[in-house]
Amino acid sequence: MQTKLWSVDKNVDNPKNYPQITQAASLLRENEVVAFPTETVYGLGGNAHSDKAIQKIYEAKGRPSDNPLIIHIADRDQLNEFVTHIPEKATKLMNQFWPGPLTIIFEKKSSELSQLATAGLSTVAVRMPNHPVALAVIKEAGVPIAAPSANSSGKPSPTKASHVLEDLNGRIAGIVDGGATGVGVESTVIDCTEEIPIILRPGGVTRDELEEVVGTVQVDPALKDQNEAPKSPGMKYRHYAPKSPLFLVKGDRDKLQQLINKEKLEGRKVGVLTTKENEGFYQADEVIFCGTRENLATVASALYDVLRSFDQREVDIIFSEMFPSAGVGEAIMNRLMKAAGNQIIE
């Protein structure tokens, strides 16, 4: 399969001026899969009504089929097609955060979506992305779009079209290149089918921001305790991982430098993930800074691009600093823990 690549102005002032959008949407209606940018990461979209399209998503990514997909919409009226009812707290969250990096889980109507898209669950995860290109593609397609991140399963999520091309060239119908994404980590996933909403995945909307709107919000115990069974099937898989082993280092930067020195003495090429503040401190083979500690949103935005950069530089081992878990730091540490397979050096 030849993967088409369309470049589109990020703002898409008038979708009718972009035949690329029309072509991408046409392929989606034909049950092909197409990657497109959102404000978080690039998504790999397929017609959420079609088993054929959803199967193509799983096959292209190498994604386990018990890992449900998020349904992307461009208009809240689309919810009525496949959601049984909309709880009051979900309405408040949509009013505040849609379009945006928040995925809400609802009770699902049984017949409207592909069972493959929801992994046979009685619930469905939905979001409205805050990106002009994504919204234009979804509107033009005229169907809800199931879309996980557009990467090979397990690898760092793509924040640039070049990342998608690297992973999926020849395996999908097309890529709409709308430039680099902004938020950098995936959407927050919140289950609104319970009386007290439950965060199943931290992301671009923080717990504090959610609680300002709907009051108390719980966190899935599986996010904190690896012995707990996750409520969301996708949370049990290792994600976001570079090719080389990644270790998180708990301690000061002198401790991290000692680890670097030890590995270099044993002949290994060492990479370090740090921030702008410490970029000049470490004596390692590859030191890549990832935003600043003063503004953790910059760390989130650059995280996946940095993890992919280590692959290109062919290091043998990667050490990463740790970050405060408040605010968006909770999402950053969630992704780093998964990328490291929960390996922390105390």
The CATH number of whichever domain residue 309 belongs to comes to 3.40.50.11030
* Mean pLDDT to the nearest integer, 264-291: 97
* Mean pLDDT to the nearest integer, 144-166: 95
- So what's the pLDDT on residue 226? 56
Backbone angles phi, psi at 195, to 5 degrees: -60, -45
The pLDDT mean for the chain works out to 93
Long-range contacts of 284-293 (CB under 8 A, 24+ apart): 284/260, 284/319, 285/313, 285/315, 286/310, 286/313, 286/315, 293/323
Residues 175 and 250 in one domain: no
Residue 275 is assigned to a structural domain of this protein: yes
- So what's the pLDDT on residue 71? 97
Residues ≥6 apart with Cβ < 8 Å to 227:
none
Residue 241 is assigned to a structural domain of this protein: no
Residues 186 and 50 in one domain: yes
Residue 316 is assigned to a structural domain of this protein: yes
What SS3 state is found at 226? coil
Residues 94 and 215 in one domain: yes
- So what's the pLDDT on residue 229? 46
Residues 129 and 30 in one domain: yes
Residue 144 is assigned to a structural domain of this protein: yes
Boundary (domain end) residue, out of 189, 209, 233: 233
- So what's the pLDDT on residue 236? 52
Question: Given a cut of 60, is residue 94 above it in pLDDT?
Answer: yes
Boundary (domain end) residue, out of 188, 203, 233: 233
Residue 214 is assigned to a structural domain of this protein: yes
When divided into structural domains, the chain yields a total of 2
Residues 175 and 311 in one domain: no
User: pLDDT (tens digit, 9 = 90+) per residue, 18-40?
Assistant: 899 999 999 999 999 999 999 99
Residues 193 and 310 in one domain: no
Q: Which of 56-70, 113-127, 292-306 has the lowest mean pLDDT?
A: 56-70
Query: Where does the pLDDT of residue 12 fall: very low under 50, low under 70, confident under 90, or very high at 90 and above?
Result: confident
Residue 175 is assigned to a structural domain of this protein: yes
Residues 146 and 266 in one domain: no
Residues 270 and 225 in one domain: no
Residues 172 and 59 in one domain: yes
Q: State the Cα–Cα distance between residues 325 and 334, nearest whole angstrom.
A: 9
- So what's the pLDDT on residue 232? 55
Residues 142 and 95 in one domain: yes
Question: Given a cut of 60, is residue 17 above it in pLDDT?
Answer: yes
Cis omega before residue 242 (within 30°)?
no
Residue 174: its H or E element:
strand 174-177
Residues 93 and 202 in one domain: yes
Residues 29 and 149 in one domain: yes
Residue 239 is assigned to a structural domain of this protein: no
Residue 158 is assigned to a structural domain of this protein: yes
Query: Where does the pLDDT of residue 227 fall: very low under 50, low under 70, confident under 90, or very high at 90 and above?
Result: low
Boundary (domain end) residue, out of 233, 262, 279: 233
* Mean pLDDT to the nearest integer, 216-240: 67
Question: Given a cut of 60, is residue 235 above it in pLDDT?
Answer: no
* Mean pLDDT to the nearest integer, 86-110: 96
DSSP 3-state helix, strand, coil percentages of the chain (rounded to 5)?
35, 20, 45
- So what's the pLDDT on residue 9? 85
- So what's the pLDDT on residue 222? 79
- So what's the pLDDT on residue 233? 46
* Mean pLDDT to the nearest integer, 36-51: 97
- Give the domain range for residue 289: 246-345
Q: Which of 22-31, 63-72, 287-296, 304-313 has the lowest mean pLDDT?
A: 63-72
